[in-house]
Amino acid sequence: MLNGGLCQCGGVQEIHDSLATGDYFGAAIVTQWDSRQHSSEYPTDAFGELEFAGAGRRHSYFVRLSCDTSPQIIYTLMTTHWGLPSPNLVVSVVGGEGHEKIKPWVRAILRKGLVRAAQSTGAWILTGGLREGVSRCVGEAVKENVAAASAVSQKKVIAIGVTPWGLVHNRQQLVNAQGSFPARYYVQNTTRDTYCLDNSCQAFLLVDNGSVGQRGGETAFQDNLEDYISHQRTGIWGSGSIEIPVLCMLISGEASMLERLDTSLKKATPWLVFAGSGPAADFITDLVAVILSPTPLAVDGEAVKGVSAEFCDRVCEKIRKHFPAETELEKLVDTALSIYQRRELITVFHGEQEGADDFDTVLLKALVRASKRLSSMASECTEELKLAVAWNRVDIAKAELFNGDIHWKYEDLEDSMTDALINNKPQFVRLFCENGLNILNYLTNQRLESLYCSLSDSLLAYILLQRHLSERQSLAGSQPSVDGVALGTMKTFHVEVNTGASAMDLSLYEVSRLLQDLLGDICEPFYYGALGLDPRMGTRKTLKQVNKILQGECTYRNQRSLSPWAALFIWAVLQNRSEMAIYFWEMAGESVLGALGACKILRELSKLENETESKLSMKQLAQRFENLANDVFGECYQSSESRSFTLLIRKSPVWGGATCLEMATAADARLFFSHDGVQSLLSQIWWGDMERSTEVWKLILSFFMPPLIYTDLISFREPEEEVKPSAVYHIRDSDSVGGNDATVFSIADIIQSEEDLEELKTLKEKFKDSMQTNSKRPFIMSRWRQFWYAPVTSFLGNVLMYFLFLCLFAYVLLVDFKSPPPEGPSSLEFVLYFWVFTLVCEEIRQTFFGGSLFLLQRMKKYIQDHWNKCDLTAILLFLLALVCRMFPWSFNVGRAVMAIDYMVFTLRLIHIFAIHKQLGPKIIILGKMVKDVFFFLFFLGVWLMAYGVAHQALLFAYDPRPKWIFRRVFYRPYLHIFGQIPFHEMDTDKLEELDCTYNHTEIEAGAEPCLSTYANWLVVILLVIYLLFTNIVLVNLLIAMFSYTFSKVQEHSDIYWKFQRYNLIVEYHSRPCLAPPFIIFSHLHILIKRHIRQIPSVKSQHFAVKLQGRKASRLNTWEAVQKENLLCAQNKQQRESDTARLQRTSVKVDSVLKQMAEIRDHDRRLRLLETQLEYCCSALSWMTDALSQSNVVTTNRPPPLHKDVTPLPPS
């Protein structure tokens, strides 16, 4: 075992303990050292983070491990604990060890081809990890890529060094049994036996087999690691459609590399060999090119049988040619024959001729060629597609697979589509949908649930879904569950996506609950129809029903999704995937409402998100969707005004009956509300049947003199205009899909089936009935309704009557507020009480009789409005004052509360002026300034208390009276701000003689304490500092805050006002036409008409209309056409932008440079060919001269003479 002073392991004899050298082996002589038999394992003493001194880069990870360590442990360590992203490809670069010189063209391919391909595919590069040979070239290429890559680049090249521990220079710097965080490593010039670590690797696996200064100890572990990784799946949580491809790359290499190659090939690992790079690579190139005799080769583990002797001799010749120093020829021949039997796994790359361009395509072809041998059932194109999806290389897929030569079937694209969806590859999703994948057949409810199961556990949406899931599971309790059986038919990757039972139990109900939380009450619950649930049921009953459904057969899971594009759109929005969400939005219908819905979801999620970066990206994507909604509606408004109005108030069955206006209000889409089309519709609703240009004074005059409405003072639209949109719209379609309002269809053009005929007949009957109804209504009644039912009339009536109410309130409070009964209240006070009673009736109507929501939901919606809170406060204060004023002992309290209540009622008047274009934004500014005042008061209170306590302590040595302490600590310093400063107490020269005492007992008895003059000078200094800080610093701070708020709101005052105007119009549109106190008659009318006679409201259709059948279909088609027009215009604008032009110019320049490189290469080859031809000509000339001078050949004619061809002059 010993050879001089060194052991066969490469270590010095003295470092081995006695157990290894004497006690265990005794006198036995060991001829061959074996790592497994002659070494012992101990817990690792080198692990943690590695810092390269002077490198100036982030830390690398490292661990010292045994050569037989389980690869599963190491792979989990790298992906889970070290945080390395799971690879889509693993490229293991081997060969070129030691001080071997690497050829320039190999360096170019590593730099331009391998690293670029690794970055584009998300690959790991396994190298030797040392600064020597090929490993050093790969490290330099990685460092160049990191330096050139953008700081915000999502994909980083990950290089992992699998290094023999015994070859690492200064390895003792890494040893620390407790772990090094970090270990500082110094790179130095090394000897021929050791090499320094390469600082370009993100991780180092230091394999120790007991040897020192010897290679090959890491080979077995690296083979096992590559084999283990090749059985893991790509994608998030291993959700990809293929296993991680592993490719070994052979560059140069010695004879010992053949055994490594043979072992790896037996595990079906494909290899890419660089022809012309060195001995081992050149030998494999020649070996694969050998044409085998017809005699078949038998594959067995040890020997190769049935091979002709001639073939073995040819292989032996090639071994002698490439490895002249090798002596064990028979062993090398057997290894070579074993390699030859698996030559289908070997791809030869002639890099010197092909270059580094499209090297990723070379890798793809090599892996596809290997996959054909491994799976005879697999299609070559399908495997190539799966690899392209795993690498996210849509350019390869378009150029190689979707160029029109291959007819793709739905079954071929199904798994790849799921892989692209889960792993966020929208370009592939678009490509599949354009090339044969039917989304209607693809998206079933079961697959939609599996997509939600695949959410990353770090997403906010996943956390919220799990909360709802735990709520349902807690209600289910110990009920037996058969969900596992129901989900057992899912694809294999679904089980691997989330292995926990909680994720497998996730259903569409949890998704519906999440959307209900985010969208609020404007939408009916999603997916209730698919689950067979009743939206009117309570939450607890619904949970029980869902548990019962999921414990059954779950037949709903096999059904197709009714709106697949919308479902995928919501799924992408919940994950904040911008590019994929934009694509699904483009494909889904109802573009305006969909964009506003996404805006609402994202803004609600951003409020719940804690991470700043995610919150910001959500807000940016929400603003982008709001801009899209605004742009699409602008296109629609330019095309057809009437249809754009219908688009705003149409109830969507996809979005739970919501309208665009309701969704925009919930999403706080102020930019959308500022659009002229939205404001035009609001103005039309606001003025009712009156002309929008009507002056306000005419309305006020008609309000006090109603007979004027029957004159020409106010212009009204004709009653027929009111009938046509509601009754004739189905019969006469005056708006074409393209937006041409001049096209009129006849009845014969529309009728195409018996169903249409029946629909037309029904519409005619309704039209006749409506005409008869309108004809029966006299002119006096119709004009009366047109005037008083307009929201603007209701608004003016409420304003005038509210002013009258405030005047009555003030008169009663100041003049006619009589004593308690029996003397009071007065008759006017009873009128005031009745007036407030009608106000209470109106608030009750708004709370309990508005909309179709549940009672608790209506109360919640009512209380969320700030002005409703003001109304509620005023009414409660009035009731309190009313009760108190009825009793003598609380009369004064009641009068005081009544006075405070008058202030609240008066402040409520501010809301009325929100409709004014100039005053409306000022109200918003006022509200924001109130928030600023609170911050100012906080700072002022802190400084006030600090100065007040010090002021009191310095002036009065002892004064325990609480009332005076409060006055001097808070009240008096507050008055100092406004100049009320008592100099006679602070200045000793102006002290007045008062009857005071220093006796504590007398002071406690009520005597006035005397002023302390000890630190009077300090009081004056504190007063100066206090006034300086409050009057200058704090007041100017408040002014600056007010100025910022004013400028910020004033800059977008028009947008703020238009958004606020909508809420006011909706409020007065829903109010009865009469104002308090006469509103009581309207309440009685509504009670009889709506709740007793069950007559629906016509005014409700002004803000929400339900379309069905052909009308809804045509509106959706028209909206889709306008969206396509907008997208085409945007794409054209983007193509004509300077950035796009620069990109096209860059591509053209790259193409020219590539052609110039090819021309230079051709020129070099032509020069080489000319040199060879010149040599051949010289040789032939020499042979001719020699033969002519000898007697070997006799001829009757002399040799031919060389004719000089003179080039023709240019014409």
Rounded to a whole number of angstroms, the CA Rg of the chain reads 44
Full-model pTM: 0.75
The pLDDT, as a whole number, for residue 572 is 95
Q: Which residues pair with 64 in a beta bridge?
A: 206
Give the confidence band of 903 by pLDDT, cuts at 50, 70, 90: very high
252: amino acid identity, one letter: S
Lowest mean pLDDT: which of 368-372, 427-431, 494-498, 566-570?
Answer: 494-498
Q: How is residue 560 annotated by DSSP?
A: B
Lowest mean pLDDT: which of 277-286, 299-308, 1073-1082?
Answer: 299-308
3-state helix, strand, coil in the chain (%, to 5): 60, 5, 30
- Show the tokens assigned to 711: 């004159």
d(CA 789, CA 775): 19
Looking at per-residue confidence, does 1129 or 28 come out higher? 1129
Give the confidence band of 451 by pLDDT, cuts at 50, 70, 90: very high
Lowest mean pLDDT: which of 221-225, 440-444, 638-642, 1183-1187?
Answer: 1183-1187
Lowest mean pLDDT: which of 226-240, 336-350, 870-884, 1117-1131?
Answer: 226-240
Under 8 Å between Cβ of 348 and 284 = yes
pLDDT at position 931 over 80: yes
Give the confidence band of 57 by pLDDT, cuts at 50, 70, 90: low
pLDDT at position 581 over 50: yes
CA neighbor of 574 nearest in space, from 663, 452, 668: 452
Q: Which of 268-282, 339-353, 750-764, 1196-1210 has the highest mean pLDDT?
A: 268-282
d(CA 346, CA 727): 75
pLDDT at position 93 over 60: yes
SS (H, E, C) 140-208: HHHHHHHHHCCCCCCCCCEEEEEEEHHHECCHHHHCCCCCEEEEEECCCCCCCCCECECCCCCEEEEEE
pLDDT at position 918 over 70: yes
The pLDDT, as a whole number, for residue 878 is 94
The pLDDT, as a whole number, for residue 233 is 80
Segment 707-714 mean pLDDT: 86
Give the confidence band of 587 by pLDDT, cuts at 50, 70, 90: very high
Lowest mean pLDDT: which of 653-657, 1079-1083, 1139-1143?
Answer: 1139-1143
Helices (H), 533-669: 539-550, 564-574, 578-587, 591-608, 612-639, 641-649, 660-666
Percent of the chain with pLDDT over 70: 80
The pLDDT, as a whole number, for residue 750 is 32
The pLDDT, as a whole number, for residue 1118 is 94
The pLDDT, as a whole number, for residue 742 is 36
The pLDDT, as a whole number, for residue 297 is 45
The pLDDT, as a whole number, for residue 376 is 41
816-854 pLDDT, tens per residue?
888 888 888 899 999 999 999 999 998 888 887 765 566
pLDDT at position 479 over 50: no
The rounded Cα 854 to chain-centroid distance in angstroms is 33
Strands 60-66 and 47-52: antiparallel
Give the confidence band of 307 by pLDDT, cuts at 50, 70, 90: low
131-178 pLDDT, tens per residue?
888 888 888 888 777 765 544 444 678 889 898 887 888 778 888 877
The pLDDT, as a whole number, for residue 408 is 81
Q: How many other CB atoms are found less than 10 A from the CB of residue 100?
A: 16
Omega before residue 1009 within 30° of 0, cis: no
Q: How is residue 690 annotated by DSSP?
A: B
Percent of the chain with pLDDT over 90: 19
pLDDT at position 373 over 60: no
Under 8 Å between Cβ of 742 and 725 = no
pLDDT at position 586 over 90: yes
Instruction: Please list, in sequence order, all residues whose beta carbon lies within 8 angstroms of the beta carbon of residue 676, skipping any fewer than 6 positions away.
Output: 637
Give the confidence band of 198 by pLDDT, cuts at 50, 70, 90: confident
CA neighbor of 908 nearest in space, from 870, 869, 875: 870
Strands 271-274 and 246-250: parallel
pLDDT at position 751 over 70: no
CA distance readout (Å), 430 to 270, 404, 471, 576:
31, 16, 37, 18
Q: How is residue 399 annotated by DSSP?
A: I
pLDDT at position 630 over 50: yes
Instruction: Compute the mean pLDDT over every residue in the chain, rounded to the nearest whole number.
Output: 79
